[in-house]
Amino acid sequence: MKFSHEILETNAGILLIGTMIAISIGGLVEITPLFLIKDTVEDVPGVRPYTPLESRGRDIFVREGCYTCHSQMIRPFRDEQLRYGHYSLAAESKYDHPFQWGSKRTGPDLARVGGKYSNEWHVQHLNQPTSVVPESVMPNYPWLAKTPLDYSDVADRLRALRTVGVPYSASEAEYQANVKQFGAEVANTLRIDKAQENLVAQAQAGNYDGDRSFVSEADALIAYLQVLGTMVDFSKVKPEDLVKYR
Amino acid sequence: MAENAQTQGPQTTGHVWDETLQEFNNPLPNWWIWGFYATIVFAITYWLIYPSWPIGKSFLPGVFGKIEYTNSEGQTETWHWNTRAKLLKETEEAAALQKPYFDKLASLPYDKISKDPELSSFVVSAGKPLFADNCAACHQSGGGGKIGSYPNLTDDNWIYGGTYDKIQETITKGRHGYMPPFAEALDPAQIEELANYVLSLSGEKADPAKAALGNQLFHSHTAACFYCHGNDAKGRQDIGSANLTDKVWLWANVPGASDQAGKVAEVEKVITGGLNRGVMPTWEGRLKPEQIKLLTVYVHELGGGK
């Protein structure tokens, strides 16, 4: 049988398969090389997966839709570097599933907000942004500090992240591998069997929302915000080395 | 029209639907064809300048768009065009333009900087955006602060000291003021007496009898306020304990209270609960030493530098 346009145009099924093949070629050509090319993810020390508390804070960030107004991606432009700090590295979001790069900046970029403000400031700001930044258009989130954090399923959440490649440890061997890669202190926070215990301990020690009587959603969210962009020590990274990862 | 289409048989694709519905196969207009060729030429030129096609584990880096920058050893390096190389080059160029000012800033002692008109105007113009990006969220845009949370930087009242060196130390290392809660060590009556004494220190109205008892407590080892605030209650700048004898309040919102009972309650709240909220973040690492020096001068010149 001779191939002709008419076959495609008059058979919906064949048209569908043909369309899918055509689109996949485009996709494969663009995506496959990124898996092969060696210099996409920078080799920098310090990046670690989130602790259970930070990870739950990240869930709340996503739940509240913070990404609709805040990006977490400092682009390599001079104006952005001056305002927000060092440009974001691919390595810094390698444990983010899904990443929170975002594309809309109604508010400022948050990729390096960690350590910039105090916990107290974050509590005031989340509760009522205009109390500290009078010109802010960000909505109030007064329920965060009042709502107890549901962390009953935190181990399951870490297990889910583990299946997509985040090195939370489910066995002694994985724990030992983490000790080697991240050091004992961090490796301990990545243990799935101790997830709840670690979460509560960090919230107690950090006292992020200034109220130790219960672990609130604000505790988790602030713990997450305070770690953003702080893992890589840029005084130990040469700028020209990062240039070569592109 | 329909008639016409049928007589031009050879110019259709040959597909017929619903008995008479045919598809024309007219040649594309010339302007469109040439536009299409132009995009192909554009693409090839683009591949030659910018990184493009993947080849195995590497990619075609582009041949014409090289970028030259200086590496941390001071040698000149060339790399294919990319935004990071471009940024590094632009940052170096901008730094070279600002270098004379920053060099002068670094070499001159603090008290000479404000006397140099050119340098002073550089401090104001470069300090303003730095302050807005990093400090204004707490100390507010003009540096006026916020009673109950963030100190005013425009007055000549300093918790940790208003000399250049102290301000630089504050910005570099950060500060964290701490006063223990007295809810358990003292009973409510004692706290009320202390509050009256504290109010009397700055000339506020206070119950004289209670203030006298408060005075004793303040200097006793039971309450031990004098350990931190000093015998004269003027505070110690090394630990950032507030001067209680002036009219400047940071934590107890005495000026905001509407009546005498409200003023007493504000001071009582501080004594009962203590203070642990005064956290000024550390800027070492986030800001470069020369930026910190610049901000130090900026803050000093905001009003009340000593």
Q: Helix or strand or coil: residue B165?
A: helix
CB B40 within 8 A of CB B33: no
Q: Is A133 on the interface with B (CB under 8 A)?
A: yes
Question: CA of B35, closest CA in chain A: separation in Å?
Answer: 22
Residue A45, in any domain of the structure: no
Q: Which residues make beta-bridge pairs with B55?
A: B58
Check: CB of residue B267 under 8 Å from CB of residue B252: yes
**Per-residue burial over B127-157, b = 16 or more CB atoms within 10 Å of its CB, e = otherwise:** beebbebbbbbbbbeebbbbbebbbbbbbeb
Residue A24 sits in the same domain as residue A91: no
Residues of B in contact with A120 (CB under 8 A): 149, 277, 279
**Domain carrying residue A31:** 5-36
For residue A43, being part of any structural domain is answered with: no
- Contact residues, chain A, for B88 at CB < 8 Å: 239-240, 243
Residue of chain A whose alpha carbon sits nearest to that of B136 = A133
> Are B301 and B159 within 8 A, CB to CB?
no
Closest-CA residue of A relative to B288 is A235
Q: In terms of pLDDT, which residue wins out, B252 or A10?
A: B252
Question: Do residues A56 and A169 share a domain?
Answer: yes
How far apart are the C-alpha atoms of B93 and B86, rounded to whole Å? 11
Instruction: Measure the CA–CA gap between B173 and B197, rounded to whole angstroms.
Output: 34
CA angle A148, A153, A158 (to 5 degrees): 120
Q: How far apart are the first and last CA of chain A?
A: 49
Give residues 153 to 192 of A whose Cβ lies within 8 Å of B.
Answer: none
B62-107 pLDDT, tens digit each: 887 789 999 989 999 999 988 999 999 999 999 999 889 989 888 8
Both tokens assigned to B200: 């009397």
Q: Identify whether residues A112 and A22 lie together within a single domain.
A: no
Q: Could you tell me if A30 and A58 lie in one domain?
A: no
| Cα dihedral: B151, B155, B157, B159 (round 10) | 30
Statement to judge: residues A115 and A11 lie in one domain:
no
Q: What is the pLDDT of residues A108-165, one digit of tens each?
A: 999 999 999 999 999 999 999 999 999 999 999 999 999 999 999 999 999 999 999 9
- Flag if A76 and B77 touch (Cβ within 8 Å): no
Alpha helices in chain B (DSSP H): 2-7, 30-49, 83-107, 110-113, 117-134, 136-139, 164-173, 188-201, 208-218, 225-229, 260-273, 289-301
Given phi > 0 = left and psi -120 to 50 = alpha, else beta, which region is A165? left
**Domain residue extents for chain B:** 125-303
Instruction: Say if A85 is an interface residue toward chain B (CB within 8 Å).
Output: yes
Q: Report CB contact under 8 Å: A78, B87.
A: yes
Tell me: domain B125-303, CATH 1.20.1370.10, correct? no
Contact between residue B77 and residue B68 where contact means Cβ atoms under 8 Å apart: yes
Please check whether residues A18 and A105 belong to one and the same domain.
Answer: no
Query: What is the C-alpha separation between B158 and B18, in angstroms, rounded?
Result: 89
**Same domain as A26, residue A105:** no
Same structural domain for residues A15 and A137? no
Distant-in-sequence, close-in-space partners of B159: CB < 8 Å, separation ≥ 6: B151, B175, B177, B235, B237, B240, B242, B250
- Interchain contact, B149 vs A243, CB within 8 Å: no
pLDDT tens figures, A183-225: 999 999 999 999 999 999 999 999 999 999 999 999 999 999 9
Count residue pairs from A and B with Cβ separation < 8 A. 93
Split into its structural domains, chain A has a count of: 2
Contact A76 B54 (CB under 8 A): no
Count Cβ atoms below 10 Å from residue A34 Cβ, excluding itself.
11
pLDDT band at A9 (very low <50, low <70, confident <90, very high): confident
Q: What is the pTM of this model?
A: 0.86
The CA angle B118-A81-B68, to the nearest 5 degrees, is: 90
Q: Specify the pLDDT at position B62.
A: 83
Predicted confidence band at A1 (pLDDT cuts at 50, 70, 90)? low
A204, A104: one domain: yes
User: For residue A101, what is the domain's CATH number?
Assistant: 1.10.760.10
Peptide bond before A49: cis, by omega within 30 degrees of 0?
no
Of A17, A211, A77, residue with least CA distance to B82? A77
The more confidently predicted of residues A10 and A85 is: A85
Contacts of B138 in chain A (CB under 8 A): 117-118, 121, 132
Cβ–Cβ of A240/B59 closer than 8 Å? no
